């Protein structure tokens, strides 16, 4: 993690702690809060101002004392620390991305904090292990290129780095990661690129005419999905795969007598599904293709050797 990313993570952690303290008391004092969190008073003041600019109803009731209008957060108790951190990070990012993005994001947050309070038995639950951190400069730069319909070029690394020229169409959050969907100009095909693998991004002078209307989950990944991946899911985990899809092209091929499942996925390349499958180890077994099975075995052998070292 870069030094800047660490600073962002620490700030989001402070946001969460400040937010929780607002719900434990009617008002908070910047001096006592700075001692509790181990930072300067000015840092706390900047944090409170950033939260206020992000849309949180924080008011200074007298010098050094602040309160929060809690009526807007009736379903707060349904969120754990990491879920709350995600909401705070997204609200902070929305401000940085400008009025258009902020207005769209605000409608989502309004639903999140208001509408589900009418359905107490159906709370929204964002299951994520830790706050989502990304290169905000790259993110903003890409959003602006999409808005201006300008081509971009960048270095992308899967197995080895290569340079690509892309017409950027949309940024998508899927399965815990941020992706850019666009058209690879040289190959004349829609592709998806993980934002964390994009380096040295440049906005080019060349413009493109329009963003296709057909962009949906079916082309979030490689345009031509002609590779079938089959796995065996053990009986203890089978219910999860029957209840929902862990990947858009998932198909249950066979349910065996012992309760295990043979599950199939159509992909354009192994990269788009590798990390999704690793989250389900050791409850799955790669059946095919052999190349993917070999990759998993080599990764696991390397991991075992590292653990023993």
Is residue 215 located within the same domain as residue 248? no
**Is 137 in contact with 97 (CB distance < 8 Å)?**
no
Is residue 12 located within the same domain as residue 92? yes
Name which of 255, 263, 187, 178 is nearest 224 in CA terms.
Answer: 187
CATH number for 266: 3.30.70.920
Asked whether residue 125 is domain-assigned, the answer is no
pLDDT band at 230 (very low <50, low <70, confident <90, very high): very high
CATH number for 161: 2.30.30
Is residue 209 located within the same domain as residue 191? yes
Residue with tokens 């108790």: 77
With residue 147 as reference, give the H or E element that holds it.
helix 136-148
Is residue 78 located within the same domain as residue 104? yes
Residues recorded for the chain: 309
Query: What pLDDT was estimated at residue 117?
Result: 41
Is residue 196 located within the same domain as residue 237? no
pLDDT in tens, 272-304: 788 788 888 889 999 999 999 988 888 888 878
Is residue 231 located within the same domain as residue 215? no
Asked whether residue 169 is domain-assigned, the answer is yes
Query: What pLDDT was estimated at residue 206?
Result: 93
Total domains in the chain come to 3
Asked whether residue 145 is domain-assigned, the answer is no
Asked whether residue 113 is domain-assigned, the answer is yes
Query: What pLDDT was estimated at residue 122?
Result: 37
Is residue 233 located within the same domain as residue 304? yes
Top-confidence residue, 225 or 139: 139
pTM above 0.75, yes or no: no
**Is 58 in contact with 48 (CB distance < 8 Å)?**
yes
CATH number for 9: 1.10.10.10
Q: Which among 99, 118, 137 is the end of a domain?
A: 118
237 is in which domain, residue-wise? 227-308
Is residue 194 located within the same domain as residue 236? no
Top-confidence residue, 6 or 163: 163
**Nearest 5°: CA angle at 144, between 143 and 146?**
65
**Is 192 in contact with 247 (CB distance < 8 Å)?**
no
Is residue 112 located within the same domain as residue 40? yes
Mean pLDDT across the stretch 182-205? 87
* Phi-psi category of residue 259: left, alpha or beta, with phi > 0 → left and psi -120 to 50 → alpha: left
pLDDT in tens, 147-157: 899 999 999 87
Mean pLDDT of the chain: 76
pLDDT in tens, 78-106: 555 555 555 666 666 655 555 555 555 55
Residue 221 has pLDDT above 80, yes or no: no
Both tokens of residue 92?
Answer: 């902070």
Is residue 95 located within the same domain as residue 14? yes
Question: Per mean pLDDT, which of 12-21, 31-40, 96-105, 189-198 is the most reliable?
Answer: 31-40
Q: Which of 110-119, 203-212, 256-265, 281-290 has the lowest mean pLDDT?
A: 110-119
Query: What pLDDT was estimated at residue 120?
Result: 43
């Amino acid at each position: 993690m870069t030094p800047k990313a660490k600073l962002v993570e620490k700030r989001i952690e402070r946001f969460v702690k400040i937010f929780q303290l607002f719900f434990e008391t009617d008002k908070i004092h910047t001096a006592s809060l700075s001692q509790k969190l181990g930072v300067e008073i000015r840092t706390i003041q900047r944090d409170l101002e950033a939260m206020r600019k992000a849309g949180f109803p924080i008011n200074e009731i007298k010098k050094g004392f602040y309160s929060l209008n809690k009526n807007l957060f009736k379903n707060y108790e349904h969120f754990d620390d990491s879920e709350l951190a995600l909401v705070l990070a997204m609200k902070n990012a929305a401000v940085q991305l400008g009025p258009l993005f902020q207005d769209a994001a605000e409608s989502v947050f309004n639903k999140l904090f208001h509408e589900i309070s009418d359905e107490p038995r159906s709370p929204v639950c964002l299951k994520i292990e830790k706050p989502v951190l990304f290169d905000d400069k790259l993110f903003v730069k890409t959003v602006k290129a999409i808005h201006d319909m300008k081509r971009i070029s960048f270095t992308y690394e899967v197995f080895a780095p290569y340079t690509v020229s892309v017409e950027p169409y949309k940024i998508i959050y899927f399965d815990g990661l941020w992706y850019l969907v666009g058209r690879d100009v040289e190959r004349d095909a829609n592709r998806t690129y993980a934002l964390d693998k994009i380096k040295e991004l440049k906005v080019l002078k060349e413009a493109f005419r329009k963003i296709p209307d057909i962009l949906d989950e079916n082309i979030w990944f490689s345009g031509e999905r002609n590779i079938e991946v089959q796995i065996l899911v053990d009986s203890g985990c089978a219910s999860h795969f029957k209840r929902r899809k862990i990947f858009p092209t998932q198909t249950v091929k066979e349910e065996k007598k012992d309760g295990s499942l043979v599950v199939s996925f159509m992909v354009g390349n192994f990269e788009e599904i590798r990390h999704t499958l690793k989250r389900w180890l050791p409850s799955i077994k790669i059946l095919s293709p052999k190349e993917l099975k070999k990759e998993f075995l080599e990764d696991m052998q390397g991991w075992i050797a590292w653990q023993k070292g």
